[in-house]
Every structure is written in structure tokens, then in C-alpha cells.
């Protein structure tokens, strides 16, 4: 082949199209020895996206280098989104652009399946059914680098009141550096972009949105939601309904910018610990934080200030209306506080709740402490119970400063109070943490939030269970399960109070299996695990809660302080050990929870319960993946496990076996990469992720299980596949 030509092929495979796309790869044209495979390496990729209206124009640039000793010729592959319109494919020879050409879909599919059969490549299997660009690359000399440019146009999916964009990263082909940049015109049409998979950096400039991925966040699948700016509250609803079970959903509530927020009056109580242990830098930061909190208040708001050590003192009797003079006087009172004496937490909380907030105002208590109760009532359980009884309509936000705080008490204070607890570790800045809360509560948008589904649909297991208030510029991500959908579409209604009036907002979505949104299962499971772990820590272990946590851990591979060993060693003996542990649990809630270990545990549980990025889920467990693998290798006789597509598999007798499989289920065996195999994946696409497990995999169904391994069927008789699908899905 001449070096000045490119022979290209573009395969547009419409069958089973999805909205995924991925970085490309190069395979050698001629068979090469096994030890020379992989000598053409992708160095880096750059993705640029321009969105106008609902249309995304995508340009992908990829650089490949020949690391081998000889001239190399390869075939470039790139899977396209299902609704993409191919624009151009170019290979660059220096500054010269060489363009590719197209082939028909029938020829493309035969080539595609031939590649899979020949290579037995899991990465290709996962891409089965998508569009595929296939283009010959002219020879690349040893040490030479070539650039490939790909352009196409894509229509964005609708997800509730948002447009959705998705980019699928590498699948089992290494992790080359990738840059990502997106520009969106008519920025006023959109709220703040949100990604459940990555942290993003967003800039608004001249009615344009410019978006990049945060440093270190370039790897893996990337999904982005662009909420449509429709009124004060923006709703985006993403469902995922796996075949044969209840569905999962993710609901994003975006209240918009502070300028659009209602001016709801606030009644604020600030409670500061001035015991002897707060002396030095801690008391100075805490006083600065309270002054900053007062500065966020407006005329019409009211406040109360409470300081406590061995005793309790207040700034004034009853509520003080916020005026310029009152603020200056209150700041002088705060600056005069000194740290000394014991810690009377019970007395401070009683004083904080002594004056109820006004009927049409938002009542907020901000509670700062660095220690445990040492004066007055000292039992954390009784303090928490009395606080809950006296709290009324206040929201409570607590800050635990240092490692000597009682995490049980602080978390119990905020558990049902629509607030949160923040733990400020030694050396961290108190003023910054409280300042973030001050900015948040400055603009309440929607309070007393509730979520309900349309007729016949039941929402359950919502995470978080107690919905917080919505503030301007904030985002609330609610994950949960649903059942009872009788038609192809269902709706969700959000209700709440805004400026003293009851309002509601509604969005609808089609009910469907959404393999692209399978990450919703992970996020929901992580949040639920965090909530269950917190319940155990605050209320003690019970068989019911431990069983729920065990089942969650086995199903989704979630690692927690209580269940990490269950995932490492899913055997009968260790399950019995877990049950024994439950039986030995204390009857009362474990109230003495102070020290760095408990503060760290509380922070990890909060991280899990607040998980909004898939990347964060993998970091919340007490044992990371490398440690887990090392433990498996170190302990003979312990079978390895893998979590794939919401199922947990264990290696048994050379087969990855779904833990949901029972001996009573009929098993149908299918030979990998056969005609029956491809027909099965087309009919049951949810099997694709599990199908990559080798040497064999057994996947549990409702009334029949499917095994993919050597010696299985290569073809189906008439009607046989249809029967298998019915039995598998139930």
C-alpha cells in the first residue's frame, strides 16, 4: 500500500444502537507474534464538543506511536453513538490530511463479528451492537507518531428537564491521557451542568458555557446533564429499570442562582463552645466564623447568640432583629468571648431551642463544639433525646471541631433535623467550613421538600431519607427505587414551601431499561450502605439492619466498616460470623463515640451517604481494590469475587457464578463467540457485561440461568431462543 493513501471504512451499525461512544484503537492488519502484540500505542486523546441547541458536534483527536522495531500497518476502530451522523475521518501525514470513505452496514457487521471471533476480546464484546468506524492506517515507521481526527454530529438525549451527553472511555485497553473540552452556546437556557461520574469545572462567559474535567478526572465513562432553565426549580429524572426487578432512579433538583431565590426570612441561632479546650487558634477561628455568619443576614432576619462552657450565656433575651447597629453590637459581644471552663452541651441546646422560629421563617441552629459533655447532663443518649423533643421546627447544622467530639451526639442532633454534621479535623479551617454554610443558608429556595410519584407508581428507599431544604446555587441529588409502572411513562412531583407558599414542580420520563445509566445502581447502593452503617452506629446493631447491609454488600460489592469482610470472603462460615456479631451487639446504642477513629468513620459514612459521583463510590470503602486482591492472594482457599453490572460473581469450579443462582434453576449453556452467542447478546443485551468473564460465566435468571462457556450451544432451534429469554427474564 502506498504511504500517500488511506483506505478507510465507516460502519454505521444501527441495530441495538445506544448513545455510547469510546476512544479508538489500532489492531495490526497482519498476524504478529504474541510477544509483539500491542506495539502500536495510543499516546493521548483530545475531545472537543460544541453544543448548539440540542445538537453536539464532536471532534476526537488521537495520537498513536509505533513502539515496535519494524514498519507497522494497522486497522483503526472507533464505535459511534447510535444516533450519530458521521462527518469525517482523517489520518494525518505531517500537515497533510488524508480522508477515509464509507462501507454499508451489512458488510460492517460481518467484519465486526469476525474481529470478535478472532480476538475473543472483551472490549469488543462490550461494544457489540454499536456503530463502528473501521479504517486502514498506512504504515507507521518504528518510533513514528501519527494523528487521527474523527468528526461526527450527535443529537443529545432528553433526561427529564435536561439534555444528556455521554462519553464512554477505554474498555480494557489501557488508560492514555485524555483532555476534554465542551462549549455550549445560549448559556442562559441552562442551569448549572451536573455530572454524576466526574467533577467538572464550569465557566460562564458571554452567554456561553465552557466546561472541562477537573484535574485527574479524565479517565472512565463521562456523563453530563445540562438542566434546562425552566422557572425556579429545574428537575432532571433518569430512570433505570433492569429486566425482572424494580427500577432505580436519580432525580436532580437544581434551584438556580442566588439572584432567583426567594427572600425568605430567617431566624438564626448560633451556638459556640467556649470551654477551655477551645482556647488558642480554635476560638479565634470560631469567633470569626460567627461574625461571618451574621454578615450573611439581611434586614428582616432575626438572630440569637448562645455561648457555653460550664455554664450558658446569651447575647440578649429573646430574638434580636437584624439591623446594622445590632450586627455591630453582636460582633463586639462575640469578640469579647474567652475560652475557659467545662462543656455544658445539654444546657446550650436547651437555650438554643428555647425561642421558636416565626411561622413563616426558616429556623436554623448552627452548633459548634470541640468536646464532650462534662457539665450538667453528660449522657449522650439523654442529651440527644431531649434535643429532639425540644427542637421544634429548627434545622440543625453542627460542626465538630477536632477529634475529641462525640460523633454519636452530633450526628443524632442532625439526623432528623434536615441538617448536616461537618467534622473539622485538626489543622483544618473552621471559618471556611462555617462560611460555606452561611453562603448556603443565605438564599433558601424551597423548604419542607417532599417527592411523590404519579398514580400507581411507588417510590421507596429514597436516599437521602430525610430530604434537605433547597438553597440557591445548591444541587440535591435524590436516588431511590420505584415499582408499579403500568405504562411507558411515569411522573415525579416535587412539593415544598417557597416564601411561605406551597408550590409544586413535575417532570415525566419514559420507563425503560437504561444500561447507560447503570451507575445509578452504584450510587444508590453506596448511599444506602452509608445510611445503614450510620443507623448501626447511632442506634446499635440489629439482625434486620445487619441482614440488609449484608445483602447490599453481596449484591453491589459495597465495602463498609461492618461488611468489608463479607465481600472478601463470601462463605457460609463468615456469614455465620456476621450473624454471631449481630447477636453479640450491645442492646443500647453505642453512645461513647469520640476519638479520631469515630470521627473518621462518621466522615466516611457521610461521604457514602452523599455520594454524587461514581468515582467517589470506589473510594468510600474501608478496603480498597488493591488491598482486597492482596488479601485474596494471601489467603488460600478463598474464592475471588467480581461485581459486574449489578451482580456479584464468585469463582467456583472454573466458572464465574452469579450468587443469585440456585441449584433448582435450569441451566442453558452457550458457546462463546458462536452464532448462538451473538443472537443471545442481541436478544438479552443486559448479559453483555457479564459475558466478558472468562473462562466461563453463569448468570442467574428468574426461571433459568445462562452459562457461557466451552461446550455450549452454537445455534438455536426455532423458538428455542425466545423460550430462553422468557424464562431468564421471568
CB contact set of 723 (below 8 Å; sequence gap of 6+): none
Q: Do 492 and 375 share a domain, yes or no?
A: no
Give the C-alpha separation, 245 to 730, whole Å.
10
Q: Do 435 and 456 share a domain, yes or no?
A: no
Which pLDDT score, from 0 to 100, does residue 280 have?
86
Question: Residue 217 — very low, low, confident or very high, per pLDDT cuts 50/70/90?
Answer: low
Q: Is residue 2 part of a domain?
A: no
Sign, CA dihedral 479-482-487-491, equals: negative
What is the layout of strands, in order, in the sheet containing 444-453?
470-471, 444-453, 489-498, 501-510
Alpha-carbon 107 to chain mean position: 39
- Helical axes 324-335 vs 281-295, angle rounded to 10°: 170
Closest by CA position to 529, among listed 607, 445, 421, 583: 607
Give the C-alpha separation, 118 to 125, whole Å.
12
Mean confidence (pLDDT) of the chain:
75
pLDDT above 70 covers what percent of the chain? 69
pLDDT tens-digit series, residues 52-85: 877 788 888 888 888 888 777 676 777 666 556 5
Q: Do 497 and 590 share a domain, yes or no?
A: no
Q: Do 162 and 67 share a domain, yes or no?
A: yes
pLDDT exceeds cutoff 90 at 721 = yes
Say if CB 490 and CB 508 are below 8 A apart.
yes
CATH number of the domain that 472 lies in? 2.60.40.1230
Domain boundary among 482, 515, 548: 515
Q: Do 123 and 50 share a domain, yes or no?
A: yes
Q: What is the DSSP letter of 662?
A: -
The top-scoring range by mean pLDDT among 109-118, 326-335, 550-559 is: 326-335
Q: Which three cell numbers stand for residue 446?
A: 424551597
Domain boundary among 379, 410, 441: 441
Which pLDDT score, from 0 to 100, does residue 642 have?
75
Q: Which three cell numbers stand for residue 333?
A: 459581644
Q: Which three cell numbers stand for residue 472?
A: 440557591
Q: Is residue 229 part of a domain?
A: no
- Helical axes 430-441 vs 281-295, angle rounded to 10°: 20
Q: Is residue 286 part of a domain?
A: yes
Q: Do 299 and 384 share a domain, yes or no?
A: yes
* Helices and strands (DSSP H and E) totals, the chain: 18, 36
Give the C-alpha separation, 646 to 625, whole Å.
17
- Bridge partners, 683 (sequence order): none
Which pLDDT score, from 0 to 100, does residue 116 have?
58
Say if CB 329 and CB 321 are below 8 A apart.
no
Q: Is residue 3 part of a domain?
A: no
- Three-class secondary structure of residue 42 per DSSP: strand
CATH number of the domain that 341 lies in? 3.40.50.410
Taking the chain, what is the end-to-end CA distance rounded to the nearest angstrom?
54
Which pLDDT score, from 0 to 100, does residue 97 have?
67
Give the C-alpha separation, 354 to 583, whole Å.
41
Q: Do 302 and 423 share a domain, yes or no?
A: yes
Q: Do 710 and 688 share a domain, yes or no?
A: yes
pTM over 0.85: no
Which pLDDT score, from 0 to 100, does residue 298 have?
87
Q: What is the DSSP letter of 187?
A: G
Say if CB 59 and CB 150 are below 8 A apart.
yes
Q: Is residue 80 part of a domain?
A: yes
pLDDT exceeds cutoff 50 at 9 = no
Q: Do 674 and 620 share a domain, yes or no?
A: no
Q: Do 607 and 684 share a domain, yes or no?
A: no
Q: Is residue 596 part of a domain?
A: yes
The string of DSSP letters for 69-105 reads SS-EEEEEEEEEPTT-EEEEEEEEETTEEEE-----H
Q: Is residue 1 part of a domain?
A: no
Q: Do 377 and 289 share a domain, yes or no?
A: yes
- Three-class secondary structure of residue 241 per DSSP: coil
Total domains in the fold of the chain: 5
Which pLDDT score, from 0 to 100, does residue 15 have?
26
Q: Is residue 75 part of a domain?
A: yes
Question: How large is the average pLDDT for residues 366-378?
Answer: 85
CATH number of the domain that 168 lies in? 2.60.40
* Grid cell 472478601 in the structure block, residue: 568
- Three-class secondary structure of residue 629 per DSSP: helix
Domain boundary among 458, 489, 515: 515
Question: How large is the average pLDDT for residues 31-54?
Answer: 71
The string of DSSP letters for 541-595 reads --HHHHHHHHHHHHHH----TTTHHHHH--SHHHHHHHHHHHHTS-SS-----BS
> How many residues belong to the chain?
730
State how far the alpha carbon of 110 is from the alpha carbons of 107, 132, 165, 648, 713, in Å. 5, 12, 29, 33, 21
- Give the residue numbers spanning the domain of 724: 641-729
Of 3-12, 138-147, 404-413, 423-432, the least confident: 3-12
Q: Do 162 and 253 share a domain, yes or no?
A: no
Amino acid at each position: 500500500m502506498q504511504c500517500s493513501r488511506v483506505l478507510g471504512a465507516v460502519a454505521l451499525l444501527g441495530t441495538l444502537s445506544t448513545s455510547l461512544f469510546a476512544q479508538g484503537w489500532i489492531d495490526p492488519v497482519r498476524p504478529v507474534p504474541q510477544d509483539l502484540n500491542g506495539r502500536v500505542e495510543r499516546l493521548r486523546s483530545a475531545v472537543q464538543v460544541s453544543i448548539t441547541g440540542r445538537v453536539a458536534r464532536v471532534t476526537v483527536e488521537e495520537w498513536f506511536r509505533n513502539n515496535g522495531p519494524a514498519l507497522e500497518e494497522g486497522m483503526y476502530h472507533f464505535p459511534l453513538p447510535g444516533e450519530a451522523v458521521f462527518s469525517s475521518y482523517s489520518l494525518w501525514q505531517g500537515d497533510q490530511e488524508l480522508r477515509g470513505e464509507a462501507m454499508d452496514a451489512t458488510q460492517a457487521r460481518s467484519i465486526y463479528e469476525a474481529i470478535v471471533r478472532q480476538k475473543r476480546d472483551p472490549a469488543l464484546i462490550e461494544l457489540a451492537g454499536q456503530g463502528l468506524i473501521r479504517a486502514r492506517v498506512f504504515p507507521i515507521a518504528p518510533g513514528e507518531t501519527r494523528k487521527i481526527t474523527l468528526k461526527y454530529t450527535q443529537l443529545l438525549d432528553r433526561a427529564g428537564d435536561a439534555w444528556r451527553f455521554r462519553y464512554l472511555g477505554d474498555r480494557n485497553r489501557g488508560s492514555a491521557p485524555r483532555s476534554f473540552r465542551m462549549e455550549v452556546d445560549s448559556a442562559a437556557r441552562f442551569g448549572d451542568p451536573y455530572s454524576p461520574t466526574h467533577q467538572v469545572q464550569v465557566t460562564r462567559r458571554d452567554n456561553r458555557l465552557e466546561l472541562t474535567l477537573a484535574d485527574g478526572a479524565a479517565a472512565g465513562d463521562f456523563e453530563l446533564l445540562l438542566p434546562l432553565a425552566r422557572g425556579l426549580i429545574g428537575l432532571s429524572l433518569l430512570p433505570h429499570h433492569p429486566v425482572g426487578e424494580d427500577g432505580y432512579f436519580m432525580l436532580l433538583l437544581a434551584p438556580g442562582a442566588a439572584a432567583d431565590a426567594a427572600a425568605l426570612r430567617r431566624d438564626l441561632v448560633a451556638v459556640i463552645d467556649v470551654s477551655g479546650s477551645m482556647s488558642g487558634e480554635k476560638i479565634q477561628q470560631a469567633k470569626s466564623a460567627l461574625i461571618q455568619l451574621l454578615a450573611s443576614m439581611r434586614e428582616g432576619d432575626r438572630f440569637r447568640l448562645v455561648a457555653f462552657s460550664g455554664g450558658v450565656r446569651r447575647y440578649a433575651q429573646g430574638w434580636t432583629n437584624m439591623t446594622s447597629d445590632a450586627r455591630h453590637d453582636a460582633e463586639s459581644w462575640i469578640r469579647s468571648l474567652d475560652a475557659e471552663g467545662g462543656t455544658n452541651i445539654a444546657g446550650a441546646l436547651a437555650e438554643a431551642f428555647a425561642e421558636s422560629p416565626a411561622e413563616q421563617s426558616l429556623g436554623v441552629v448552627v452548633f459548634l463544639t470541640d468536646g464532650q459533655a462534662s457539665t450538667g447532663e453528660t449522657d449522650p443518649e439523654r442529651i440527644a433525646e431531649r434535643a429532639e423533643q425540644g427542637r421544634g421546627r429548627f434545622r440543625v447544622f453542627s460542626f465538630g471541631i477536632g477529634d475529641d467530639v462525640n460523633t454519636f451526639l452530633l450526628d443524632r442532633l442532625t439526623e432528623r433535623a434536615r441538617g448536616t454534621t461537618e467534622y473539622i479535623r485538626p489543622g483544618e479551617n473552621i471559618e471556611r467550613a462555617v462560611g460555606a454554610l452561611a453562603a448556603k443558608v443565605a438564599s433558601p429556595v424551597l423548604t419542607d421538600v417532599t417527592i411523590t410519584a404519579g398514580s400507581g407508581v411507588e417510590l421507596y428507599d429514597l436516599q437521602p431519607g430525610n430530604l434537605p431544604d433547597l438553597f440557591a446555587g445548591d444541587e440535591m441529588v435524590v436516588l431511590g427505587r420505584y415499582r408499579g409502572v403500568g405504562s411507558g411513562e411515569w411522573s415525579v412531583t416535587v412539593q415544598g414551601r417557597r416564601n411561605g407558599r406551597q408550590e409544586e414542580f413535575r417532570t415525566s420520563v419514559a420507563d425503560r431499561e437504561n444500561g447507560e445509566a447503570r451507575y445509578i445502581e452504584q450510587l444508590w447502593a453506596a448511599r444506602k450502605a452509608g445510611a445503614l452503617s450510620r443507623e448501626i452506629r447511632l442506634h446499635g446493631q440489629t439482625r434486620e439492619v445487619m441482614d440488609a447491609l449484608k445483602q447490599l454488600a453481596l449484591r453491589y460489592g459495597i465495602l463498609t466498616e461492618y461488611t468489608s469482610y463479607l465481600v472478601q470472603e463470601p462463605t457460609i462460615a463468615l456469614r455465620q460470623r456476621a450473624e454471631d456479631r449481630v447477636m453479640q451487639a450491645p442492646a443500647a446504642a453505642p453512645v461513647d463515640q469520640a476519638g479520631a477513629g469515630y470521627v473518621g468513620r462518621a466522615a466516611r459514612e457521610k461521604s457514602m451517604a452523599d455520594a454524587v459521583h461514581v468515582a467517589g463510590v470506589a473510594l468510600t470503602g474501608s478496603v480498597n481494590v488493591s488491598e482486597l486482591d492482596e488479601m485474596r492472594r494471601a489467603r488460600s482457599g478463598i474464592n475471588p469475587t467480581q461485581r459486574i453490572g449489578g451482580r456479584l460473581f464468585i469463582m467456583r469450579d472454573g466458572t464465574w457464578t452469579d450468587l443469585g443462582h440456585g441449584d433448582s434453576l435450569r441451566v442453558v449453556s452457550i458457546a462463546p463467540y458462536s452464532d448462538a452467542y451473538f443472537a443471545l447478546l442481541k436478544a438479552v443485551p443486559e448479559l453483555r457485561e457479564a459475558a466478558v468473564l472468562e473462562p466461563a460465566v453463569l448468570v442467574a435468571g428468574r426461571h433459568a440461568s445462562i452459562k457461557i462457556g466451552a461446550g455450549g450451544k452454537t445455534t438455536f432451534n426455532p423458538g428455542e431462543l425466545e423460550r430462553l429469554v422468557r424464562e431468564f427474564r421471568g
